[in-house]
């Protein structure tokens, strides 16, 4: 069997690594296609190295652009590779432009698409990711929702065949790397941070960074934090901070360390030892609850409602008063802190990657890895 993996951004590399590993352990060599949506060393190569992935077979160097430019160029380049390589299935993960491009290019060549982390919905169609999720799910033949909630979202849209709840591969990645991170990373020492005495910040979503007034609200929250904080800044945000004249202001905040994006091992260790996490990232909302760290999400909705339902995550948006209210409660109310930190992980047992590989190998053996003409009964 020949599975092709199409990926291009930081979270896709991290979350597909357990699936790639599971195929390798079963004697199957996956074809690795990197679109190059992320290209800086600290947004891409560092993860390929740290996660010890095999060499990339095709590097497409798509780079940055408008939504259509990036998706279109990726589609054209992915199609060429798929036509040449003729894989049995194309795996994509998540909701980026790379995912949409990979799914569309593949299904139109009648190569079935397997969508890892299918069925997530923020119910906010103004987010580019929401459009990508919906379209990728509908172009996919085999769907791997991480949770029952995600499966129900697919059912509501009429997708019921070849749907397998597997858990989220993010758990596999965390379990495979958390101890290694504690051993190998010196990130706390490097930045002079003490365990449980700082907040970890990330923010990069288009809706938070592309408008000056929103980015300024983020800066105001950071200025008012009553505890030390560290912010590994995504290149998109750095660029916008510069454009809107906010970079110096944020870099000047006394209690805040602003740094480049960090490698996975450094970042995992920072997450695990944080007092709390404030983020608009999808993957980091998941990792926070897995690592028992309270999470305040800098958004008004989430496609990970399981984290909120479980009690480990609160949506604070860009509301300074609300963000501060929760940080202060966490600081002053040990019972509240304990409750948030001990929220149960809703994302599974860390065997999602193995399940995905097993299911695809079985479908292949039975001759069922193909694009069917209809899946609606
Ligand atoms: C993309 C995904 C988002 C995901 C995020 C993970 C889409 C629509 N968005 O957002 O869902 O959460 O990746 O991090 O696919 N840049 C660099 N160096 C890089 C990569 C990007 O400088 O290696 C800068 C460029 O100025 C670029 C901007 O960041 O224009 C945005 O990059 P892009 O890949 O378009 O979107 P992300 O914000 O990274
Ligand atoms: N991450 C990292 N270094 C950083 C920030 C994030 O290794 O400086 C990892 C993090 O552990 C998680 C993933 O990148 O696994 C999340 O990526 P991101 O927030 O960019 O994307 P999203 O999950 O929102 O799509």
From 34, 38, 204, 364, the catalytic residue? 204
Evaluate: CB of 151 within 6 angstroms of ligand 2.
no
Cα of 29 from ligand 2 centre, angstroms: 26
The helix/strand/coil state of 315 is: strand
Q: Is the CB of 11 under 6 A from ligand 1?
A: yes
CATH topology of domain 3-168+349-376: Rossmann fold (3.40.50)
Give dist(CA 355, CA 172) in Å, integer: 11
Q: Structurally, what CATH architecture does the domain formed by 186-341 represent?
A: 3-Layer(aba) Sandwich (3.40)
* 15 CA → ligand 2 middle, Å: 10
Give residue-wise pLDDT tens across range 72-117. 999 999 999 999 999 999 999 999 999 999 999 999 999 999 999 9
Q: Would you state the structure tokens that stand for residue 183, as one six-digit string?
A: 């051993």
pLDDT for 366: 97
pLDDT at 310: 98
Domain residue extents for the chain: 3-168+349-376, 186-341
At 376 the pLDDT is 61
Active site residue 204: yes
Q: Which segments in the chain show pLDDT lower than 70?
A: 376-377
Domain 3-168+349-376 shares a fold with domain 186-341: yes
Quote the pLDDT of residue 327: 98
Choose among 133, 61, 142, 132: nearest CA to 107: 142
Beta-bridge partner residues of 200: 230, 277
pLDDT recorded at residue 374: 79
The per-residue pLDDT for 373 is: 84
Best mutation site among 38, 94, 242 for ligand 1 pocket (most ligand atoms within 8 Å of CB)? 38
Q: Which of 10, 16, 40, 133 is the pocket-test mutation for ligand 2 (most atoms within 8 Å of CB)?
A: 10
């Amino acid at each position: 069997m020949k599975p092709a993996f199409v990926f291009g951004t930081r979270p896709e590399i991290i979350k597909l690594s357990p699936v790639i590993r599971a195929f390798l352990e079963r004697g199957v060599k996956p074809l690795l296609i990197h679109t190059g949506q992320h290209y800086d060393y600290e947004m891409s190569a560092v993860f390929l190295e740290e996660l010890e992935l095999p060499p990339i077979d095709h590097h497409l160097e798509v780079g940055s652009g408008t939504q259509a430019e990036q998706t279109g160029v990726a589609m054209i380049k992915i199609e060429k590779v798929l036509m040449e390589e003729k894989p049995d299935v194309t795996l994509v993960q998540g909701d980026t432009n790379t995912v949409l491009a990979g799914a569309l290019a593949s299904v139109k060549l009648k190569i079935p698409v397997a969508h890892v982390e299918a069925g997530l919905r923020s119910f906010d169609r103004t987010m580019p990711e929401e459009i990508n999720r919906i379209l990728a799910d509908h172009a996919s033949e085999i769907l791997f929702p991480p949770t029952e909630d995600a499966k129900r979202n697919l059912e509501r849209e009429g997708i019921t065949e070849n749907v397998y709840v597997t858990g989220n591969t993010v758990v596999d990645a965390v379990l495979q790397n958390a101890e290694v991170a504690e051993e190998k990373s010196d990130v706390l020492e490097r930045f002079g941070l003490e365990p449980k005495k700082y907040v970890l910040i990330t923010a990069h979503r288009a809706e938070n960074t592309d408008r000056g007034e929103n980015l300024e609200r983020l800066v105001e929250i950071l200025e008012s934090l009553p505890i030390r904080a560290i912010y590994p800044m995504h290149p998109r945000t750095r660029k916008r901070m510069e454009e809107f004249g906010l970079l110096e202001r944020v870099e000047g905040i006394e209690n805040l360390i602003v740094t480049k994006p960090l490698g996975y091992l450094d970042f995992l260790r920072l997450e695990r030892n944080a007092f709390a996490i404030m983020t608009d990232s999808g993957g980091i909302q998941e990792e926070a609850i897995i690592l028992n760290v309270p999470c305040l999400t800098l958004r008004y909705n989430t496609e990970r409602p399981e984290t909120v339902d479980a009690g480990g995550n609160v949506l604070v948006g860009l509301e300074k008063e609300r963000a501060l209210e929760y940080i202060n409660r966490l600081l002053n109310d040990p019972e509240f802190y304990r409750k948030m930190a001990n929220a149960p992980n809703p994302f599974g047992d860390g065997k999602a990657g193995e399940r995905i590989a097993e299911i695809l190998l079985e479908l292949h053996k039975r001759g069922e890895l193909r694009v069917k003409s209809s899946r609606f009964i």
